[in-house]
Structure 1
Amino acid sequence: MGNRGKGIGLGAVACLLFSGAVASANECRDDRVLLRGDWGQASFTVEVADDEAERNHGLMFRDTMPKSAGMLFVYPAPSDRIGFWMKNTLIPLDMIFLDETGTVRRVHSNAVPHDESPIMGGPGIMAVLEVNGGMAEIMGIAEGSQMRHPAFDPATAVWPC
């Protein structure tokens, strides 16, 4: 009866390749964040700003950014004093403030380019994701959404790596 029972069939190979692609898409990488909520899931390719010089420069002087890109600002410990302004920033941005578990605590939508008014995250913020203005609303990212990234300690993260 042909090759039945001998080796793996084409359907099984396709299934294995697909499951490998799904696993690959969900693996933790420094250059990508994954977000989830009752709205679904989203992924952004990110630059990580995890030292003072990188955090101070941020996305200033850039006139474009791909829709699926952003910058993740990571701080050494949670703080009540994490804030941003838009001085020298040329594009509108959404600022997604996260606590040490990777839970979204605040979303500030469409920060205005060049505005020097402080945008504060609130209590216990440890990371901030900046994406193109309006993307959080389009995707449904809101308070309570969860982020997955190696910056969050797997022992305390709500969606650990």
Structure 2
Amino acid sequence: MRTLVAAGAALLISLPLAACSAEDTLVIHSENGDHSFKVEVVDTPETRAKGLMYVQELADDAGMLFDFKESRPVSFWMMNTYIPLDMLFIEADGTVLNIHSNARPHDRTSIPSDGPVQYVLEIPGGVATKLGIEAGDTVEHERIAQ
């Protein structure tokens, strides 16, 4: 399965990501305030497979929102990803279920959600800790039902 995902991602590298996604504002409501991010939304198997692979830099207020269109356990890995990432696993109602901080570039270790989620937000590594974002915080975005 991983080989198939990697092969699909390799085929997609020539496609502009903007053609497969939309950029929106996402807000995380935490105990110490609200934190806004400009995110690209990916919601097809092809765009989710590519994710942030091959991206060389990401602004502190930027990220990618993965929409799986249903709640289910998910897992990620960092193959062909060049920058460290924080992964926020988000339930259908916008509650952050768990956070994996500073995922290591090129690591093939599986990074799972702690249960069913509909969304995953990837932001630059270390930003969640820096901003005080924690499990239990809520996420506001036009795709997320509140």
- Alignment TM class, shorter chain as reference: 0.7 to 0.9
Matched, 1:49 2:46: no
Alpha-carbon RMSD: 1.2
Partner of 2:76: 84
CA distance in 2, matches of 1:30, 1:150: 11
Partner of 2:141: 149
The percentage of counterpart residues that share the same residue type is 39
CA distance in 2, matches of 1:107, 1:122: 9
Instruction: Specify which structure has the higher proportion of strand.
Output: 2
* Pairing 1:5-154 to 2, within 5 Å after superposition: 31-80=24-73, 82-153=74-145
Partner of 2:13: none
Q: 8 Å contact 1:30–1:149 — kept in the other structure?
A: no
Q: Partner amino acid for 1:74?
A: D
TM-score normalised to the size of structure 2?
0.83
How many angstroms does 1:122 deviate by?
A: 2.0
Give aligned pairs, total: 125
TM-score normalised to the size of structure 1?
0.75
Cα deviation digits, residues 97-125 of structure 1 (max 9, x gap): 00000000000000000000000012121
Cα deviation digits, residues 62-119 of structure 1 (max 9, x gap): 1111111000000110002x11000000000000000000000000000000000000
Question: What SS does structure 2 have at the residue aligned with 1:31?
Answer: strand
Q: Structure 2: which 5+ residue stretches go unaligned? A: 1-21
Q: Structure 1: which 5+ residue stretches go unaligned? A: 1-28
Q: Partner amino acid for 2:65?
A: L
